[in-house]
Amino acid sequence: MTLPLIAVLNGPNLNMLGLREPGIYGSATLDDIEALCAETAEELNLAIDFRQTNAEAELISWVQECRGRAAGIVINPAGYSHTSVALMDALSAVALPTVEVHLSNIHRREAFRHHSYVSRVASGVICGLGPAGYALALRAIAGLIAADETP
């Protein structure tokens, strides 16, 4: 049986995790987060496609490619959360269960991080829980798929 595929998409600078600014983002690397997602997905009987890009156009293309291929999206859009109407439009167009994740609590940080265009089209948002937020997002997506609900 083919497992439902969840795209786990990561935006700009997340490749720097664990290498700089551990005070804000912790010491885990993106590879550590991928391993956590793989472990969680196995438990939930999901397949994942885990990716990171620094380019807005590539992130948008990956979202578009989810149409007809993925059952859901977990996305940390990083800086594009706060700037990208185009990414919001792409997520709206694919209309899949989508959970937005941020490692840090963006509401405790600078005012420009308090607004996310992506949140407007996400099924749900998790922030401030570090890498565990990705595992929680996968659990939430599994629940949404099982209930066949896309709020």
Mask for 40-79, x = binds ligand CA2 (CB under 6 A): ------------------------------------x-xx
Closest residue by Cα to residue 46 from 2, 90, 76: 2
Per CB under 6 A, which region of 27-35, 49-57, 96-104, 143-151 contacts ligand CA2?
Answer: 96-104
Q: How far apart are the first and last CA of the chain?
A: 27
Site for ligand CA2 contains 120 (CB under 6 A): no
Site for ligand CA2 contains 83 (CB under 6 A): no
Q: What DSSP state is assigned to residue 128?
A: S
> Is 134 an active-site residue?
no
The span from the CA of 105 to the CA of 51, in Å, is 22
> Is 102 an active-site residue?
yes
Site for ligand CA2 contains 39 (CB under 6 A): no
CA angle 101-85-80, nearest 5°?
40
The span from the CA of 102 to the CA of 77, in Å, is 8
Nearer to ligand CA2, 74 or 106 (CB): 106
In sequence order, which ranges of the chain are alpha helices (DSSP H)?
22-25, 30-44, 56-65, 85-94, 132-147
Nearer to ligand CA2, 67 or 108 (CB): 108
Site for ligand CA2 contains 139 (CB under 6 A): no
Site for ligand CA2 contains 98 (CB under 6 A): no
Q: Tokens for 11, please give them.
A: 């935006």
Which residues on adjacent β-strands are paired with residue 99?
74, 124
Residues that bind ligand CA2 (CB under 6 A): 13-14, 16-17, 20-21, 25, 76, 78-79, 81, 102-104, 106, 113
Active site residues: 25, 102
